[in-house]
Amino acid sequence: MKTIEVSTASTSLKELVVLAQQEHELILLSGNKPVAKVVGMPESNETAHTRQPRKLGRHPGIWEVSEDFDAPLPDEFWLGQE
C-alpha cells in the first residue's frame, strides 16, 4: 500500500491507475487524513466480464425447498417470541 498527499501530488490519473495496478492499493491523503482509496483490479478470471456463466444442475440433491417455503410466518416470529 502506498500513500500520496493530494495537495503535493503532480500525478495524473493515468499514473495513479498504473501505480494502483503495481501497488494493488493507493491511499490519497489530504493533510495526512485519508480521503480516498484507489484499488487495482486483478488480472485474472475474477473480473465480471470474463466469468463463465453458471450452469444449472451441477449439484443435484444438495439442497431442497420444503413444501411450506412460501407459507406465511407465524406472528411469534415477527414479534421475536420464537
Class of domain 1-41 as given by CATH: alpha beta
**CA 43/CA 24 separation, integer angstroms:** 11
In sequence order, what are the beta bridge partners of 29?
A: 5, 34
pLDDT in tens, 43-72: 654 555 667 788 888 888 888 889 999 999
pLDDT in tens, 17-33: 888 888 778 888 998 89
Question: How are strands ordered across the β-sheet holding 25-30?
Answer: 2-5, 25-30, 33-39
- Provide the H-helix boundaries in the chain: 13-23, 75-78
Under a CB-based contact definition with an 8 Å cutoff, are residues 36 and 23 in contact? no
